[in-house]
A = this chain, B = another copy of it.
Amino acid sequence: MKKIVIFGVGLIGGSVALALKKAQPTLGSLSIVGVGRNPASLAQALQLGVIDAGVDSSSAQLKTALADADVILIAAPVAQTAGILASIKPHLNRHTLVTDAGSTKGDVLACALSILAEQAHQFVGGHPIAGAEKSGVGAASADLFVGKNVVLTPTEQTQAETLARATHFWHSCGAKVSHMPAQAHDRIFAAVSHLPHLLAFALVDDIANRANAAELFGFAASGFRDFTRIAGSHPEMWRDISLANKEALLQELTAYQTELALLKTLLENEDGAGLEALFSRASLARNAWSDKKI
């Protein structure tokens, strides 16, 4: 790898840049070009040494940068993927690997197939599972992906060499890499990530809209803090994820509504044994998961 172009130099894009720079002794000489909508954040990325050059997404320099890139990484909010792929396509060298870091993969893959067309086999979608409660390049870290999972979502058309290059790219950032179809990815993350985000947003909104919200927040403590941490996440990003993964997320919401109705019935019936059984199953599963993870 000699030249990497990164669309969106925020927490994720910036951390990839820093991780690759850290791995440079192994990877050899490397030039990282950042592309973004916001000149101020590109200037910040340049000043922090995260990127070697910053170009505006509508500039002529972008054409040159794209033409000889080894890897193009899209690390912008997922709703921008189509526009970015369209801007890449006219300049896409047939040796360039295109990958992304979006939280949903079915919609991104559909964009790549339609927009990159006969060059779609150069694209492999990716999702780094790394915390993102802070955002912006100022929060970027070379170690963000170390030991974390990155899920790649190749298709039957993806060539083995392309997948190997995408795998190597993320391995160079320190990540563990696994592969699965985009649809399977989206179903899994609807359950373990997207649904919990929506549930946390809903709880905080429910409380914030009340006349006595200040009093309620005044007595909220550590359990509330942890439960609602993800409700502090980026609204635009989560709007995009929700819409992009609509079908799987609606299924999850329906399943959760069923579970909640069951719990409510147990409580209405004062079924202590039933409540304790549900809480015990959850508590055992949660603590077993936690013991394994940490």
Contacts and interface: CB of A to CB of B under 8 A. Distances in A.
Interface stretch (A61-69, A84-92, A118-126, A235-243): A235-243
A89 B228 CA distance: 43
Interface in A162-214: 188-189, 191-193, 195-209, 213
Interface core residue of A197, A219, A270 (most chain B CB under 10 Å): A219
Contact of A196 (B227, B257, B260, B280): B227
A219 B149 contact: yes
Nearest to A129: B221
A250 B268 contact: yes
Interface stretch (A10-18, A21-29, A107-115, A271-279): A271-279
* Copies of this chain in the oligomer: 2
Contact of A203 (B196, B209, B276, B289): B196
A198 B203 CA distance: 12
A39 interface: no
A225 B264 contact: no
A231 B259 CA distance: 15
B238 A250 contact: no
B229 A281 contact: no
Contacts of A286: 204, 228-229, 231-232
Contacts of A283: 201, 204, 231-235
Contact of A225 (B209, B263, B270, B290): B290
A48 interface: no
A208 B279 contact: no
A139 interface: no
Contact of A224 (B196, B209, B256): B196
A222 interface: yes
16 contacts: A129-B219, A148-B221, A188-B216, A198-B263, A203-B282, A206-B255, A223-B230, A225-B290, A227-B229, A231-B282, A233-B283, A238-B275, A239-B276, A239-B279, A242-B267, A253-B264
